[in-house]
Chain A
Amino acid sequence: MPEHLPQVAHQFEDAAQQYETATLGMWAFLITEIMFFGGLFAGFFVYVLGHTQAFAEGSRHLDLALGTINTVVLLGSSLTMALAVRSAQQGHRNGQALFLALTIILGLVFLGIKGVEYAHKFEQHLVPGPQFQMEGSHAQSAQLFFSFYFAMTGVHALHMVVGVGLLSWLLINAWRGKYTQTYFTPVEVCGLYWHFVDVVWIFLFPTLYLVARHA
């Protein structure tokens, strides 16, 4: 058995193998995530065909301004995440900590705005269930739109919460100087996850806020 660096786990031959394995593992996991969200998207598009008018009406009740702001916030967090990975690769401890912290803050801003949107929906009785109320002729089917809205953005928000948790863990380790030019795998792998969650939103935003609205 070759001499092991302390951060190389026992099952690997060397750091390069560990890095490749971890990255492939995350990509494989992200593929499962695509299928997970894919089920929701597939259902949504099937129903758009059957309830075009109702979904358009439902979509027009979403807050386009807040949705757009959130898209910008999330894209910004992708930038800071990429910069954090770059800092880790170059071994800049302060850069890592700064950009990870910024990413966490932007993630929390996104969740906060999402919370405000949810609160408005509760006040306007747009949450599916017995108290659901909406004027117009398509109230019944529009409720279906909001079922999808809450299921899809809810599951996405859950992924954001997990992401913020992961980044907080990275931040602590980065501050302790654990990630160096020779060992930055966790930062890169969590970065992949964070970018993926952003990309999901890049599909959710037009699907829910833009496309259905103009149908």
Chain B
Amino acid sequence: MSTAASDVRTNYLNADYSVRSWLFTTDHKRIAILYLVSITAFFAFGGVMAGLLRLSLLTPNGDLVQAETYNKLFTMHGITMIFFFLIPSIPAVLGNFLVPIMVGARDLAFPRINLLSWYVYVLGGTFTLVAAVTGGVDTGWTFYTPYSSTYANTNVILTALGVFITGFSSILTGLNFVVTIHKMRAPGLTWSRLPLFIWAHYATSLIMLLGTPVIAITILLVALERGLGIGIFDPNLGGDPILFQHLFWFYSHPAVYIMILPSMGVMSELVACFSRKRIFGYNFVAFSSVAIAVLGFLVWGHHMFVSSQSMYAGMIFSLLSFLVAIPSAIKVFNWTATMYKGSIALETPMLYAFGFIGLFTIGGLTGIFLATLAVDVHVHDTYFVVAHFHYIMVGGAIMGFLGGLHFWWPKITGKLYSEVWGRIAAVTLFLGFNLTFFPQFILGFLGMPRRYHVYPPEFQFLNVLSTAGATVLGLGYLLPILYLTWSLFFGKAAGSNPWGATGLEWQTSSPPPTFNFDKTPVVTEEAYAYDSQLEGHRA
């Protein structure tokens, strides 16, 4: 490399400035940016819904919105956040950007299919947004039959089609990742040298491939039932609404792991880098991702303990659900062991990593409560469940997403953000999050059911706390949008490796050139060779 000055090099961002060059790009890095912009928009939309819900819950009588509006708000919040933000968040943005670079390839295996996945996502999103503004939908994000198929008078078909279409973008992304990881690795990059981020995405992609088609056919059947009157879930025609629940959760429980596994992959990168240590127990962390993916397909019945499922099926599903705790705990303990005697740096991404470990542990342990048959009967459909999955989804998945975004932001944009504001935002988010959702554990345990817009007055204090927390949380989300955007224009140039991290992505320039590397890299060591690097870096 004779031209050392990185600011004059041609990279994927300054190669072409035309709109056309963005909308018809097949560069995985540009598609990642397209996804980043789109999911941020959906996140903001879903966030506004959540804000309105929390505002409405300030008073016991639901003074802000009517019951029907409230139902539509929580439905749109759930659908937007799950299908249009959480599922694509890390895979389609960070995964898209990093998977080819981390395996030392010029692009994903199928670049045009990658672009297609974004268009499919946008099309599905458009359907759902049109459904939202032309009357909304009130079935809950779960679309339970027979309410969704027979009784609901809202835009079920349109929304269902939106979710159906978006599912294919997820399938296409997963397919691209699986094939890329199998066939596109650079010379010397064996499976045991792969970054754990790649292992996590491999496991995630398997779930996308195996689970998403099942939700696709299920949602299609609901739409056909409403539109054409075929009766597979309709009791009047001999159909069984419970079959819908089985098929729905066969995907939607593994989908939870689609949302959390990539975050765990990010975590492994962050913890190793900011502890300056090899990851503890590489093989265990890698295979625990695959174990979570496999076990995830065997636990769907724990959503149906009170849906007339046989008691014996319930017992088996309960036991299998407990098993998921093992690979999850392996990860948490191995990250902790990695930090032990490490040289820990409290940079912004590492603060998110700390937040993740704490919140994911609480979320995971309360999951064990819910997988316990008797306890679940008490807290089923209460705010305890709401708090549990928000600890996993917001405390886990979004913390991981933001941690990863901050970690790789210098690589993606070539610019450094303000470290001070980064830390302030991370701490604000952590505090706001706990203030929002911890009271909901108590509310649920005391018996406040979810999905009602009114509640008994004695629950008001905890609800006010939760709404106050949501305000702090909202502010916390606003901060990164502001200072990250600011860094695009005024941030200092990042250099190729601002964190002193290992990994192929840090060996190319920031932002990377269009084909990622000047020549195909040859890998000679494992992914986390921090031990050998330690001497020179911390001198």
List the interface of chain A (C-beta within 8 A of B).
1, 9-11, 13, 17, 20-21, 24-25, 28-29, 31-33, 35-40, 42-43, 46-47, 50-51, 54, 128-130, 140-141, 143-144, 147-148, 150-151, 155
Contacts and interface: CB of A to CB of B under 8 A. Distances in A.
- A24, A50, A140, A155 — most chain B CB neighbours (10 Å): A24
A10 B515 contact: yes
A31 B237 contact: no
Given A11-B107, A147-B231, A151-B232, A36 B224 contact: no
B171 interface: yes
B232 A148 contact: yes
Contact of B213 (A11, A32, A47): A32
Interface stretch (B120-128, B176-184, B269-277): B176-184
19 contacts: A10-B106, A11-B106, A20-B183, A21-B184, A25-B109, A28-B178, A32-B171, A33-B213, A35-B211, A36-B213, A36-B217, A38-B213, A38-B214, A51-B238, A144-B232, A144-B238, A144-B239, A147-B232, A148-B232
Nearest to A1: B519
B213 A35 contact: yes
B237 A144 contact: yes
A179 B100 CA distance: 29
Q: What secondary structure prevails in chain B residues at the interface with A?
A: helix
B232 A43 contact: yes
Interface in B259-306: none
A26 to B, nearest CB: 10
Given A39-B214, A130-B229, A143 B109 contact: no
B58 to A, nearest CB: 42
B316 to A, nearest CB: 18
Contacts of B237: 128, 140-141, 143-144, 147
B209 interface: yes
B175 A28 contact: yes
Interface string B160-203: 00000000000100010011001110000000000000000000
B209 A32 contact: yes
A35 B107 contact: no
Given A47-B240, A51-B238, 13 more contacts: A11-B184, A21-B109, A32-B171, A32-B209, A36-B213, A39-B214, A39-B247, A128-B228, A128-B231, A143-B231, A143-B237, A144-B232, A147-B239
B231 A144 contact: yes
A24 B210 CA distance: 15
Contacts of B209: 28, 31-32, 35
Contacts of A11: 100, 105-109, 111, 184
B218 interface: yes
A141 to B, nearest CB: 4
A9 B109 CA distance: 10
A35 B175 contact: no
Nearest to B239: A144
Given A11-B184, A31-B209, A35-B210, A151 B230 contact: yes
Interface in B231-255: 231-232, 237-240, 243, 247, 250
- B110, B217, B218, B221 — most chain A CB neighbours (10 Å): B217
Nearest to B176: A25
Contact of A35 (B105, B178, B214, B238): B214
Contact of A24 (B182, B221, B520): B182
A31 B210 contact: yes
A140 B515 CA distance: 61
A24 B209 CA distance: 13
B425 interface: no
Contact of B230 (A20, A39, A150): A150
Nearest to B180: A21
B255 to A, nearest CB: 13
Contact of B212 (A20, A32, A128): A32
Would you list the 8 A-B pairs with minimal beta carbon distance, nearest first? A36-B213, A147-B230, A11-B107, A35-B213, A141-B238, A39-B217, A129-B229, A21-B183
A126 to B, nearest CB: 12
A115 to B, nearest CB: 18
Given A39-B217, A151-B230, A151-B232, A29 B238 contact: no
B332 interface: no
- B171, B230, B250, B519 — most chain A CB neighbours (10 Å): B230
B216 interface: yes
A13 B522 CA distance: 14
B230 A25 contact: no
Nearest to B171: A32
- A31, A35, A148 — most chain B CB neighbours (10 Å): A35
Given A24-B183, A28-B178, A36-B216, A54 B238 contact: yes
A51 B237 CA distance: 11
Contact of A129 (B221, B228, B519): B228
A40 B217 contact: yes
Nearest to A33: B213
A21 B240 CA distance: 42
A25 B110 contact: yes
